[in-house]
Structure 1
Amino acid sequence: MVVTEYDVLAEVYEWLISDAKLPPAEFAASYDDVLSLLPPNARVLDCSCGTGQLAVGLAGRGIEVVATDASEAMVRRTAELSEEYEASVRAVRANWEELPDHFEDDTFDMVFCVGNSLHHAAGATGRGAALESMSRLLRPGGRLVITSRTWELVRARGSRLDIWDRLVRRNGRDAVVAYRWEIAPQWEDEHHIEIAIAQVDATGPVLVRSELLSCWPYRHEVLEADLHRVGLRTEASTFDPEAENYTVVASKV
Structure 2
Amino acid sequence: MPDYYRDLAADYHWIFPDEVVNHPGVIGGTSTDSRELIEAVVEALPPGAPVLDCACGIGTDAMALGHAGFQVTATDGSPAMAAEARRRLPAEAEVLTCRWEDLSAVVTGPFELVLCLGNSLVHTGSHKAMVTALAGMRQMLSPTGTLIVDSRNWELLYRERPRIVAADRVRQRDGMRATCVYVWTIPESFGEPCQAELLFLTEHPDGGLTHRRHPLEFQPFTPADLEARLVEAGFAVAGSSYRQDAQRYAIAATRAEQHPG
Q: Structure 1 length normalisation: TM-score?
A: 0.90
CA distance in 2 between counterparts of 1:241 and 1:19 reads: 29
Per-residue CA distance 1:211-253 (angstroms, 9 max, x = gap): 1112111111111111111121222111001011112111112
Q: Which moved more, 1:54-63 or 1:17-26?
A: 17-26
1:43 to 47, 50, 57: 50
8 Å CA contact 1:48–1:67 kept in 2: the answer is: yes
* C-alpha deviation, 1:131, in angstroms: 1.0
CA RMSD of aligned residues (A): 2.0
Unaligned runs of 5+ in 2: 29-34, 257-261
Match of 1:234 in 2: 237
Q: 1:185 to 1:126 in 2, by over 3 A?
A: farther
Q: How many residues align?
A: 248
Q: 1:100 to 1:187 in 2, by over 3 A?
A: farther
CA distance in 1 between counterparts of 2:173 and 2:118 reads: 19
CA distance in 2 between counterparts of 1:199 and 1:237 reads: 37
2:125 to 96, 107, 122: 122
Match of 1:8 in 2: 7
Match of 2:31 in 1: none
SS of the residue corresponding to residue 119 of structure 2 reads coil
Identity among equivalent positions (%) equals: 30
Match of 1:28 in 2: 27
Q: Which amino acid aligns with 2:84?
A: R
8 Å CA contact 1:169–1:175 kept in 2: the answer is: yes
Q: 1:185 to 1:124 in 2, by over 3 A?
A: farther
Match of 1:164 in 2: 167
CA distance in 1 between counterparts of 2:26 and 2:151 reads: 16
CA distance in 2 between counterparts of 1:154 and 1:119 reads: 14
SS of the residue corresponding to residue 206 of structure 2 reads coil
CA distance in 2 between counterparts of 1:155 and 1:240 reads: 15
Per-residue CA distance 1:98-129 (angstroms, 9 max, x = gap): 2222135x611110011111111112122111
Match of 1:79 in 2: 86
1:98 to 85, 99, 102: 102
* C-alpha deviation, 1:24, in angstroms: 4.3
8 Å CA contact 1:116–1:148 kept in 2: the answer is: yes
